[in-house]
Chain A
Amino acid sequence: MSLKHADNLRGKAAIAGIGATEFSKESGRSELRLAVEAVGAALDDAGIAPSEVDGLVSFTMDTNPEIAVAAAAGIGDLTFFSRIHYGGGAACATVAQAAMAVATGVADVVVCYRAFNERSGRRFGSGVLQRDPTVEGVGLGWNMPHGLLTPASWVAMFAQRYLHVYGATTEAFGHVAVADRKHAANNPKAYFHGKPITLEDHQNSRWIVEPMRLLDCCQETDGAQAIVVVSAERAKDLKQKPAIINAAAQGAGRLQDQMTSFYRDEMTGLAEMGVVAKQLWQTSGLTPDDIQTAVLYDHFTPFVLMQLEEFGFCGRGEAPAFVANGGLELGGKLPTNTHGGQLGEAYLHGMNGIAEGVRQIRGSSVNQVENVHNVLVTAGTGVPTSGLVLGVE
């Protein structure tokens, strides 16, 4: 992975299995138990025995150490384990690092996982009220005494600037929410199955942090998702049609902060996602026109607009027009978040989006796009992040 040249990872590894628990508001069991269930389900899906797993990857925010998951999931010796920082920005990076491990022979079967009781346990949206004087604590400390306390508030600061610079209205955010919820309405696993919304519903929903409303914010979810990565060669002989990893990248931008990159030249884009985009196009050899469907990280709707621009699906400031008239819906310009996204299906820190990317490659999505060859998947926005291009070959 490099900005200067294409890397050597293209086509070397594949996602061979996906597995998740149910997505709920109160799982009734431990986060470790959820992790173990999802890992087991993903291995079943791949047709690989736990004894073959030699690598595990998760998030630094995950509370389940690799060794504890291994112990309870029938997994033995591990030769590769890694946990990635920066919240939801880690999602695609778990797969990127797993791909590097299998491509280099450091491990043969790597399972990526994320498990939490984010609704019934620690809720990320409840506000940051105290931090120790670490570097990250000091970073948050610039916001806290003024009452800028929640992820929604940090994103809203960018959203306000974006609307101002491009003369857009909050309806642009609404179109993202409507697309997500339309797709979720058709997905039995989605929390909002059968519950589409209209643009009017979006505009009538209450303010959370102006200019963002309730329906601009993702859900809070209890659940777990796991993803099995093996070499592309091995994947050919397994149970499922492989989702080939044609590019995988991490990215942090200049003067990067965690959700509060307020001090850069511009606040109308996501420089870190630009770093990811450049690498993904470079290594995959693809352009936006080659992507049939995307999973764009959607903890909050405004950052979906900026991702469309960072990846070049449209020009700067053109995302509001791109998403209008069903641009992100099935049959639209770029069917996006066909599982319902984190607004509609579940908030699994982006890992459920990777699973949807795999289903689109397999042809098994509940909202299947026709003739899918390449799927773009992104991870958490506003933080150092990551992305994947998955392909049928």
Chain B
Amino acid sequence: MTDPISQDKAAFLAVVKKYEGMHDVSGVLALDPVNGPMIRHWAEAMGDTNPVYTDPEAAARTHFGEVVAPAAMLQVWIMRGMQGGAPANSATGELYKHFTDNGFGSVVATNCEQEYVRPLRLGELVQYDQLIETVSEEKTTGLGTGHFITTLTNIYVDGESGRELVGTHRFRILRYTPHKKKAKAAPPAERPLRPRKVVNKDNQAFWDGVAAGKLLFQKCLDCATPRFPFAPGCNKCASLEWDPVESTGKGVVYSHVTMHYPKFPAFDMPYAVGLIELEEGVRMLGNVLGVAHDRVRIGMPVELEFVTHDAELTVPAFRAVGEN
């Protein structure tokens, strides 16, 4: 069973795939020879202060022996200026028309890979050939659905024994149909609530304490060992008898993390979660307040601050002491 849509897609792919390997242009000369002023402007714009690009004396002391162009300028020498672009009668011009005619009207550059065979020197006039290397099958990306097109430009200079390859430039674009926008811009998503606390008979007393503005841990009535999280019995002596004890809420950061990924819409990413060792000797988790997530440190003193996130959720958090 072949549906008409996939038949159309196959036919289109067959047409555009024919362009793979086609030469677009050959032996096109650069508009300008490799020259000092363009190098200087480029290096300044890039913040590249290496004197081998601009200072003949300094360059003479390097293994290049003379001023060379920055390798990454390779594409600069073959650009056709503001009015350039693929002429309509070229292979790429024709190929692009197939895409625009078939609904792939949007374009975005996705990759550029270059190989540098040897440095270019002042006065050299490059020339280049360009071919269409590959046309991908239909792909769907975050932007939309379309095809990747990779062109390969080989860059030469005339040498004593014919053309000498100095570099290659692979450029990939996506010709695509953007994802359909929703008819009406969605209203800003209402922020989801934080994950809920989980309460049962074993830890009810803790959350009752939070509701009363108290941070509680347990203390064994037989061996006096403090404990947290809440459990019905003592790990030290197996006693089931315990009392709730209110913590002063003072402690230090015992460990901490900063959450970056995945993005949880209920939280402001990134955010710090601390494991706090309270002065009574038990540890508890809480967000660390009053200090940037990347300034939280182990050993940092903190004190309790209850934070109410919504009508049903108040949780202990810990504010860094002495931080501004």
Contact = CB atoms under 8 A, between A and B. Distances in A.
B255 A153 contact: no
Nearest to B235: A255
Contact of B197 (A129, A134, A141, A153): A141
B285 interface: yes
Contacts of A210: 257-258, 260, 270, 293-294
B229 A164 contact: no
Among B199, B267, B273, B283, which residue has the most Cβ atoms of chain A within 10 A? B273
Interface residues on A, range: 35 or more
A150 B262 contact: yes
Interface residues of B, number: 41
B198 A137 contact: yes
Nearest to A142: B229
A102 interface: no
Interface in A109-135: 125-135
A164 B267 CA distance: 27
Interface in B229-270: 229, 235, 254-262, 264, 266-267, 270
B10 interface: no
Contact of B258 (A149, A158, A207): A207
Contact of B285 (A133, A148, A158): A148
A135 B200 CA distance: 8
Interface in B262-313: 262, 264, 266-267, 270-271, 273, 275, 282-283, 285-287, 293-294, 298, 309, 313
Nearest to B297: A164
Contacts of A153: 257, 259, 273
A128 B194 CA distance: 11
Interface string B198-232: 11101100000000000000000000000111000
A145 B235 contact: no
B264 A144 contact: no
A104 B198 CA distance: 43
B313 A145 contact: yes
Contacts of B271: 147
A208 interface: yes
A254 B235 CA distance: 8
A142 B195 contact: no
Given A125-B262, A131-B198, A138-B200, A148 B282 contact: no
A305 to B, nearest CB: 16
Nearest to A150: B262
Nearest to A161: B255
Contacts of B262: 125-127, 150
Interface in A135-190: 135, 137-150, 153, 156-158, 160-161, 164
A150 B263 CA distance: 11
Contacts of A267: 254-255
Contacts of A158: 255
B196 A157 contact: no
A323 to B, nearest CB: 21
Interface string B304-324: 000001000101010000000
Contact of A142 (B194, B235, B270, B285): B285
Contacts of A138: 198-200, 202-203
Given A146-B315, A153-B257, A164 B196 contact: no
B258 A262 contact: no
A265 B229 CA distance: 14
B288 to A, nearest CB: 10
Contacts of B313: 145
Contacts of B270: 207, 210
Given A149-B264, A206-B261, A157 B275 contact: yes
A145 B198 CA distance: 9
B273 A130 contact: no
Interface string B171-210: 0000000000000000000000011111110110000000
Interface of A: 125-135, 137-150, 153, 156-158, 160-161, 164, 206-211, 254-255, 262-263, 267
16 contacts: A126-B262, A127-B262, A130-B195, A130-B196, A142-B285, A145-B315, A146-B285, A146-B286, A146-B315, A147-B195, A149-B195, A157-B257, A161-B298, A208-B260, A208-B261, A210-B294
Given A145-B197, A157-B256, A209-B258, 14 more contacts: A130-B195, A135-B202, A137-B200, A142-B229, A144-B195, A144-B197, A148-B257, A149-B195, A157-B257, A161-B298, A208-B261, A210-B257, A210-B293, A262-B285
